[in-house]
Amino acid sequence: MHALEIIHTALRPGGVLLDIRPAQQQPWIEVSRAETCTRLGRIDDRYRMGTLAVADAALETVIEAGLFEREVEITFPFIYHCGDLDTWLAYMADHWSSATVDATLTERAREALREDTGGLRILRAIHTARLRRA
């Protein structure tokens, strides 16, 4: 919350803050084929969900205190494409170390890719809001 108070002070009256971050939804892993996508399960990213909950609470606090007014909010899908299982697992290890990929989900992905050609994709919800300095 302290950072939001500093941003409020730094913005001129009527200035705009753009808040863009993952939404508080566990991401899906899907197998994509030429014409279809099949959801295999969710990636367990509880750690990040906790951090996002704290950020949401801080933002609500400064809005309720009258520092900012919410003008527009949208949530949209962001899709990460991975050509194969090894690429997906390496990406997860390198970039999403807080997430857990259980063995069942990995096996489901392996089996789905074994059946025919296709790739994996991570479907993550991104939340964005435009806030005006009150």
Q: pLDDT per residue over 47-68, tens digit each?
A: 889 899 999 999 999 999 999 9
Question: How is the chain split into domains, by residue range?
Answer: 2-133
Question: Would you place residue 114 in the very low, low, confident or very high pLDDT band (cuts 50, 70, 90)?
Answer: confident
pLDDT of residue 98: 87
CA dihedral 19, 87, 41, 113 (to 10 degrees): 140
Are 18 and 128 within 8 A, CB to CB? yes
What's the chain's average pLDDT? 92
The pLDDT of residue 28 is above 70: yes
Q: Which amino acid is at 49?
A: M
From CA 111, how far away is CA 31, in angstroms rounded?
A: 10
pLDDT of residue 26: 93
pLDDT of residue 71: 96
In this prediction the pTM is 0.83
Q: Which two tokens stand for residue 40?
A: 């295999």
Question: Would you place residue 116 in the very low, low, confident or very high pLDDT band (cuts 50, 70, 90)?
Answer: low
